[in-house]
Structure 1
Amino acid sequence: MPKIKYDEENTIFALDIGTRTVIGLVGLVQEGSIKVLHQAMVEHQSRAMLDGQIHDIPKVASAVEKVIAELEKKLKYKVKRVAIAAAGRSLKTIKCRVDQEIPDAVEIEPLMINTLELTGVQMAQRILEQEAEQRDSENFYCVGHSVISYYLNNYPIGNLVGHRGKNIAADVLATFLPASVVNSLYAVLARVNLEPLYLTLEPIAACEVVIPEQLRLLNLALVDIGAGTSDIAITSDGSVKAYGMVPTAGDEITEILMENLMVDFMTAEQIKRSINSQDKIDYQDVLGLSMTINKEHLLNLLSPSINKLAEEIAANIVTLNGGAAPKSVMCVGGGSQVPDLTNKLANKLGLAPQRVVIRERSNITNLTDVKKNVLSGPEGVTVVGIAAVAAKKLGRNFITVTVNEKSFTLFNTRQLNVINALAFIELSPRELLGQNGKDIRFTLNGKSRTVYGEMSKPAEITVNNKPANLQTPISDGDIIKVVESVNGKDAVAKVADFFSEIFGDITKLNVNEVECTLNGNRVNGEQLIKFGDVLELNLNEVQKLKKDIGTSGKTIEKAPGKDNKIQVTVNGQRIEMSGGKEYILIDIFNYFNIDLANFTGNFELKHNGEKAEYTDVLRDGDNIEIIW
Structure 2
Amino acid sequence: MAKITFDENNALFALDIGTRTVIGIVVSMAEGHMKVLAQAMVEHQSRAMLDGQIHDIPRVAEAVQKVKAELEKKLKAPLQKVAIAAAGRSLKTRRCRVDQELIEDLEIDAMMIHTLELMGVQRAQELLEQETRQGGEGEKFFCVGHSVVGYYLNDYPITNLEGHRGKKIGAEVLATFLPASVVNSLYTVLARVGLEPLYLTLEPIAASEVIIPEQLRLLNLALVDVGAGTSDIAISRDGTITAYGMVPTAGDEITELVMETLMVDFMTAEQIKRSLWQGQDIRYQDVLGTEVTVACEEVMQMIEPAVENLASEIVRHILDLNGQTPPKSVMCVGGGSQVPSLVDRIAEKLGLIQQRVVIRNRSNISNLVDVKKKDLAGPEGVTVVGIAAVAARKQGQNFITVTVNGQPFTLFNTRQLTVLQALGLLEFNPRELLGRNGKDLRFTLNGKPKTVYGELAKPAVITVNGHPANLKTVINDKDIILVEKAVPGKDAVARVADILGNLPVNAQSCCLLNGQPAGPEQLISPGDVLEVTLTPTPAEKPSPQPGPAASALQGKPIQVTVNGQAILMEGKSEYILIDVFNYYEPDITQSSGMVEIKRNGNAVEYTETLQDGDVIEIRW
- Is the contact between residue 145 and residue 243 of structure 2 (CA under 8 Å) also seen in structure 1? no
Q: Find the counterpart in structure 1 of residue 138 from structure 2.
A: 138
| Residues 10-25 of structure 1 aligned to structure 2 (within 5 Å) | 10-25=10-25
Distance 1:30 1:128, change over 3 A: farther
Alignment-derived partner of residue 7 in structure 2: 7
- For 1:330, the aligned partner's letter is M
> Structure 1 residues 60, 79: CA separation in 2 closer, same or farther (over 3 Å shift)?
same
Q: Name the aligned partner's letter for residue 235 of structure 2.
A: I
CA shift, 1:2, in A, is 10
* Comparing 50-59 and 1-10, the one that deviates more: 1-10
Q: Are 1:195 and 2:196 matched, yes or no?
A: yes
Structure 1 counterpart of 2:336: 335
Q: Is the 8 A contact 1:53 1:181 kept in 2?
A: yes
Equivalent position of 1:30 in the other structure: 30
CA deviation after TM superposition for structure 1 residue 368, in Å: 0.7
Between 1:269-278 and 1:136-145, the stretch displaced more is: 136-145
Amino acid at match of 2:11: T
> SS in structure 1 opposite 2:45?
coil
Partner of 1:70: 70
Mapping of residues 208-223 of structure 1, within 5 Å: 208-223=209-224
In structure 2, give the amino acid aligned to 1:336. S
Counterpart AA for 1:233? A
- Whether the 8 Å CA contact 1:232–1:245 is kept in 2: the answer is yes
Q: 1:218 to 1:194 in 2, by over 3 A?
A: same
Q: CA deviation at 1:145?
A: 6.0
Using a 3 Å threshold, how does the CA distance of structure 1 residues 393 and 59 change in structure 2: closer, same or farther?
same
Alignment of 1:105-120 (within 5 A): none
- TM-score of the aligned structures, taking structure 2 as reference length: 0.54
Which residue identity lines up with residue 32 of structure 1 in the other structure?
Answer: G
1:184-333 equivalent positions in 2, closer than 5 A: 184-333=185-334
**Residue equivalent to 1:388:** 389
Q: Shift of the alpha carbon at 1:179? A: 2.2
Residue 282 and residue 193 in structure 1: after superposition, are their counterparts in 2 closer, same or farther (change >3 A)?
same
Distance 1:196 1:143, change over 3 A: farther
Matches within 5 A, 1:419-434: none
- 1:453-602 to 2 correspondences below 5 Å: none
Measure the CA separation in 2 of the matches of 1:218 and 1:382.
21
Post-superposition offset of 1:92:
3.8
Question: Which whole-Å deviations, capped at 9, do the CAs of 1:565-614 have from their partners, x for residues lacking one?
Answer: xxxxxxxxxxxxxxxxxxxxxxxxxxxxxxxxxxxxxxxxxxxxxxxxxx
Deviations 1:448-486, CA, capped at 9 Å, x for gaps: xxxxxxxxxxxxxxxxxxxxxxxxxxx99xxxxxxxxxx
Letter in 1 for 2:232: D
1:41 Cα offset (Å): 0.4
Alpha-carbon distance between aligned partners in 2 of 1:272 and 1:131, rounded to the nearest angstrom:
39
Secondary structure of 1:177's partner? strand
User: What TM-score comes out, normalization by structure 1 length?
Assistant: 0.53
SS at match of 1:207: helix
Change (3 A) 1:375 1:146: farther
Deviations 1:362-399 (A, max 9, x none): 01111112123220000000000000000111111248
Distance 1:347 1:190 in 2: 46
Supply the distance in 2 between the matched residues of 1:175 and 1:127 (Cα, whole angstroms): 12
AA of the residue aligned to 1:13:
F
How many residues align? The count is: 359
User: Is the 1:144–1:201 contact (alpha carbons within 8 Å) kept by the matching residues of 2?
Assistant: no
Mark the runs of 5 or more structure 2 residues left unpaired by the alignment. 96-117, 149-172, 402-409, 415-476, 479-620
**Residues 297/134 of structure 1: CA separation in 2 closer, same or farther (3 Å cut):** closer
Q: What is the distance in 2 between the residues matched to 1:123 and 1:393?
A: 29
Matched, 1:80 2:100: no
Match of 1:456 in 2: none
In 1, the alpha carbon distance for the partners of 2:297 and 2:129 equals 53
Post-superposition CA distance 1:109-167 (Å, at most 9, x none) = xxxxxxxxxxxxx999988766666553633454956999xxxxxxxxxxxxxxxxxxx
More moved, 125-134 vs 231-240: 125-134
Distance 1:3 1:227, change over 3 A: closer
Cα offset, 1:57, TM superposition:
0.8
Structure 2 counterparts to residues 106-185 of structure 1, below 5 A: 136=133, 138-142=138-142, 175-185=176-186
Aligned residue for 1:55? 55
Deviation at 1:275, TM superposition (A): 1.1
CA RMSD, 1 decimal: 3.2
Q: 1:128 to 1:72 in 2, by over 3 A?
A: farther
Q: Return 5+ residue gaps in structure 1 as ranges.
A: 96-121, 149-171, 401-409, 415-474, 477-628
Flag the 1:305–1:216 CA change in 2: closer, same or farther, 3 A: same
SS of structure 2 residue aligned to 1:367: coil
Partner of 1:43: 43
Secondary structure at 1:89's aligned position in 2?
Answer: helix
In the alignment, is the contact (CA less than 8 A) between 1:143 and 1:201 conserved in 2? Answer: no
Deviations 1:291-336 (A, max 9, x none): 0001111111111111111011011101111011111100000000
CA contact (8 A) 2:35 2:370 kept: yes
Cα separation, 2, equivalents of 1:204 and 1:47: 25
Give the aligned partner of residue 513 of structure 1. none
Change in Cα spacing, 1:125 to 1:236, as seen in structure 2 (3 Å) is closer
Q: Do the aligned partners of residues 288 and 320 (structure 1) sit closer, same or farther apart at CA in structure 2, a change above 3 Å counting?
A: same
Tell me, in whole angstroms, the C-alpha distance in 1 between the residues paired with 2:214 and 2:94.
21
Find the aligned partners of 1:199 and 1:265 in 2 and give their Cα distance. 30
Larger Rg: 1
Post-superposition offset of 1:342: 0.5
Contact 2:28/2:34, CA 8 A, preserved across alignment:
yes
Secondary structure of the structure 2 residue equivalent to 1:13? strand
Secondary structure of 2:89's counterpart equals coil
Q: In 1, Cα distance between the equivalents of 2:185 and 2:120?
A: 23
User: For 2:126 and 2:300, how far apart are their aligned partners in 1?
Assistant: 48
Letter of the 1:358 partner, please give it: I
CA contact under 8 A between 1:143 and 1:200: conserved in structure 2?
Answer: no
Q: 1 CA distance for matches of 2:383 and 2:283?
A: 32
Q: Distance in 2 between matches of 1:288 and 1:370?
A: 41
Query: In structure 2, do the counterparts of structure 1 residues 131 and 263 end up closer, same or farther at CA, with 3 Å as the change threshold?
Result: closer
Q: Give 1:86 shift.
A: 1.0
C-alpha distance in structure 2 between counterparts of 1:125 and 1:38, whole Å: 42
- CA 1:345–1:134 in 2, change beyond 3 Å: closer, same or farther? closer
Identity of paired residues, percent?
67
Would you say the 8 A contact 2:397–2:413 is kept in 1?
no
State the 1:182 CA deviation: 2.1
Q: Call closer, same or farther: CA 1:271–1:3 in 2, change over 3 Å.
A: closer
